[in-house]
Amino acid sequence: MASIRQLDPIVASRIAAGEVVERPSSVLRELLDNSIDAKATKISIYIEEGGIKSLTVIDNGVGMDADDLLLACESHATSKVRSLDDLFNLKTLGFRGEALSSIAACSRLTISSNGNSITVDNGKKSPVVPGSIMQGTSICMEDLFENIPARRLFLKRPQSEASECRKTLIEKALGFENIEFLFFSDGELKLHFEPTDRKNRSVQVFSLDKSFVPAQILQMSYKGENESLWAVCSDPGCHRRDRTQIRILVNNRIIDSYQFVQAITNAYSAALPGGAFPYFHLFIDANPALVDFNIHPTKRECKLRNQSAIYGAITTMIRNALVYKKADTVETPQLFSEVREAPARPYIAAPVSKGSSKPSIAQNSAKPFDSSWFESAKAILSKKDNASGQQKESPAKPQETPVQRAPSVVTTTRIIPEYRYIGQVFNTFLVVEMEDKLLFIDQHALHERLLYDEIRALKDLQRLIVPYSFEVERSVDDFLIKNSFIYSDFGIELTRREDLVWDMASIPAACRKNEEEIVSFIRNQTGDLESVQKGLFAIIACHAAIKAGDPLDNVTATSLVKRCFELDRMVCPHGREFTFSLSKQELYRQVGRIV
Ligand SMILES: Nc1ncnc2c1ncn2[C@@H]1O[C@H](COP(=O)(O)OP(=O)(O)OP(=O)(O)O)[C@@H](O)[C@H]1O
Ligand SMILES: [Mg+2]
């Protein structure tokens, strides 16, 4: 082994920088933190080529004098913390005195503040020279990793880096609603957040998502001894197929917390369809003495001393605020008698004021998802494939009798009652007369359920003429390397073209023209396999189904009704009942008749 030697300071600083600076968005996060700590009320961001070529942050905060400029890019140089005690009573986002020195170690950094300017080029400092006399600070980073080609290789394409920067800005803007933020990419204004209050900033952020419905907003709060919780979220009627709109902030800083996201999704699970997630911004204001952000280089994780109390508080807050009826406690109407030969399949919804002077810089030292039906379906499929040794079958057309149906996972024998199909109303409901009641069937939900059962039993592929290429995050890349088989089980063939880039070559025929939604789903999945399977099924079946408002001809409608009566439970793939019955008695009562 070679003998031990102390590293050259430039090499050492570049190694250390690797922890803080991964890509342009990490630089942006640090510069925004600094502007916020400097009590800025307006922050403008300009990026070029996704921030790889240049990234500039201009604020109107308290600024720095010439002496501070000289120290700002030194390692462990901060005005925010003096002693260890300060670390446990943090009122600022920065505390390590490492960010600027890390950025300056791997790019060309120019800082202009209060009439002075300094440039540090890949760790080499130039003297302070006169600069802009504008109030505040302007920090410009250029040519990230130009001198570290190995790290440059890990950067994504400029467009993807730009969207990472946009995401970082949105997350910061969420925590600091009283600050105005402007974001320009390659000379174009892409985002503008006006100062407002917490609720409206949340709505501004949710509204960047096209499917968000602003009217559907709930607010909830909880006051504990050492923490208070406040949340803005969507009503259960408005939801997404991924968790990207669930954000958690502790003392205004966004954090990644698998545990808290679980608490949110679990508390919501009975109110939402399977594979659906709410829009949810959770603000946790905790006593700084009980929070430690100094456990992760990018400060995206924190240790909370009362973590389990907060977990419980989240659950209680959400459950108390939501008025819903649990999907799994809904009674299915007893329309027919049935002899069960196997247990029922689960269709369960898954579970600062400005102007204060600033200290100078000192150098310091639910319910578990049952996948058995999926396994049985796969077993049936593989048996069938092996037996025939032939090509995959085409999708089942609406079947006329139960005997011709696609193989079912659970065999049930039922006595179908006498009924008469009356017709379609509002182009949405199929109405059926039975012995002593009228039954209204939601045509979309019924068809969705039937498709869902077909997709589970059959594989029908649509080959794409040109494979759909898409880029993924590192975590998703790792997930796909190990688990892409779960997509191929449903006809979604994925191949890894290069690091972080995947090609989709086929999709289930039922999802024709919905490649984008499938890809968006794939790009957001790193979780447990069962929820991925469940979410995927729900997307596939939901798209192909007849919609509410579609007029239906009699043949189609009667075939649908017939198949409806063959189901074991009249619930959609999301676990919701899709029929409503009105008794003869009730009808008579309404007009004052006696049955
Ligand atoms: N935009 C700014 N306005 C005013 N002062 C700034 C600005 N940016 C940086 N500074 C000063 O430079 C110092 C060093 O910044 P740097 O980001 O490196 O460290 P920090 O913010 O103290 O801690 P951390 O490494 O955790 O971010 C800060 O403590 C602050 O005094
Ligand atoms: Mg900082």
For residue 405, pLDDT over 50 is answered with: no
Q: How far is the CA of 168 from the centre of ligand 1 (A)?
A: 18
Query: Does the structure show a pLDDT above 70 at 42?
Result: yes
- Tell me the range of 83-87, 177-181, 269-273 where mean pLDDT is highest: 177-181
DSSP E strand stretches across 36-174: 42-48, 54-59, 77-78, 108-113, 116-121, 124-125, 129-130, 137-142
**CATH number for region 337-351+399-595:** 3.30.1540.20
Please determine whether the domains at 9-193 and 337-351+399-595 fall in the same fold group of CATH: no
What's the CA gap between 241 and 19, in Å, rounded? 32
Atom number in ligand 1 closest to CA 20: 25
DSSP conformation class of 546: P
Report pLDDT digits (tens) over 451-499. Answer: 777 766 655 677 888 889 999 888 889 899 989 988 887 788 899 998 8
Is the CB–ligand 1 distance for residue 79 below 6 Å?
yes
Ligand 1 touching residue 103 (CB < 6 A): no
pLDDT greater at residue 371 or residue 150:
150
Query: Is residue 514 within 6 Å of ligand 1 at its C-beta?
Result: no
**How far is CA 350 from its chain centroid?**
16
Q: Which residues contact 156 (CB under 8 A, 6 or more apart)?
A: 23, 50, 164, 471, 500
Going from the Cα of 97 to the center of ligand 1, the distance in angstroms, rounded, reads: 6
Ligand 2 centre to CA of 536 (Å) is: 41
Q: Tell me the torsion sign for CA atoms 322, 327, 328, 333.
A: positive
pLDDT tens-digit series, residues 343-384: 222 222 222 333 444 455 655 442 222 333 333 333 333 333
Two structure tokens written together for 272: 């939402």
pLDDT in tens, 297-323: 778 888 888 887 888 889 888 888 875
Given a contact cutoff of 8 angstroms between Cβ atoms, the answer to whether 20 and 298 are in contact is yes
Q: Which residue has the tokens 């499938």?
A: 518
Question: Which of 441 and 418 is assigned the larger pLDDT?
Answer: 441
Choose the residue to mutate in 13, 26, 35, 37 for probing ligand 1, maximizing ligand atoms within 8 Å of C-beta: 37
Highest mean pLDDT: which of 63-67, 85-89, 149-153, 551-555?
63-67
User: Which residues have C-beta under 5 Å from ligand 2, the single-atom ion?
Assistant: 33-34, 94, 99
Is 96 a pocket residue for ligand 1 (Cβ < 6 Å)?
yes
Region 382-390: what's the mean pLDDT? 36
State in Å: Cα 247 to ligand 1 middle: 26
Q: What length is written for the chain?
A: 595
Which atom of ligand 1 lies closest to the CA of 103? Answer: 18
The pLDDT of residue 124: 93
The mean predicted confidence, pLDDT, of the chain is 79
Q: Determine if the pTM surpasses 0.95.
A: no
What is the pLDDT, as a whole number, of residue 329? 29
Does domain 9-193 fall under CATH 3.60.70.12? My reply is no
Q: Whose CA is nearest to atom 11 of ligand 1?
A: 72
Tokens representing 569 are 């439970």
Is a pLDDT exceeding 90 seen at residue 25?
yes
Q: Is 138 in the pocket of ligand 1 (CB under 6 A)?
A: no
Q: CB of 35 closer than 6 A to ligand 1?
A: yes
Domain 198-324's class? alpha beta
Q: Domain ranges for the chain, please list them.
A: 9-193, 198-324, 337-351+399-595
DSSP class per residue in 445-501? HHHHHHHHHHHHH---EEEEEEEEEEE--HHHHHHHHHHTHHHHTTT-EEEEEETTE
Q: What is the mean pLDDT of residues 417-421?
A: 88
Q: What percent of the chain has pLDDT over 90?
A: 35
